[in-house]
Amino acid sequence: MARRRRYNPSDSRRYYDWLDRADEDMCCARLLIQDPDCYNGCAFHCQQTIEKALKAYLLLKSDQLMDGHNLTWLCKQAMRYDKRFSDWLDESFSLNKCYIETRYPADIPSEFSKEKITAFLKMAEDMYHFINDEIDKYLAAAVEGA
């Protein structure tokens, strides 16, 4: 079993609920990038988009809700079903920096430039589209096979 810790029993076990929330996070990131005072929020929502999209994909493929926030770990779990997720390991590693560092104050705060935050958003958008495409292909194949 790939689960690392127990998941919250109130978390949805429907992949499409996770995709809906990922889509909401993507929308938030696109809005927040417009204000330099909101770059930390934008980065956080980029990370959250991919976390929820990966969890949706894994839930659909395995019928198990994965726990944790580490995108690289989640991406490696997705590689068990499709090796092409290995193409996203660098992005998942970069976006991992957008979880804790953007949410809590630190002695040495992270400061994201417009270029860096734009790169995070592009990573999240590209990876999100890939995951959505893979889910769509999987569902289309399931319908054809039914």
pLDDT at 8: 64
Give the residues of the chain that fall short of pLDDT 50: 1-5
Give the Cα separation of 108 and 105 in Å (integer).
8
Give the Cα separation of 86 and 77 in Å (integer).
10
Q: Are 54 and 78 in contact (CB under 8 A)?
A: yes
Structure tokens at 72: 């690289």
Amino acid (one-letter) located at 19:
L
pLDDT at 12: 80
Q: Are 58 and 66 in contact (CB under 8 A)?
A: yes
pLDDT at 3: 47
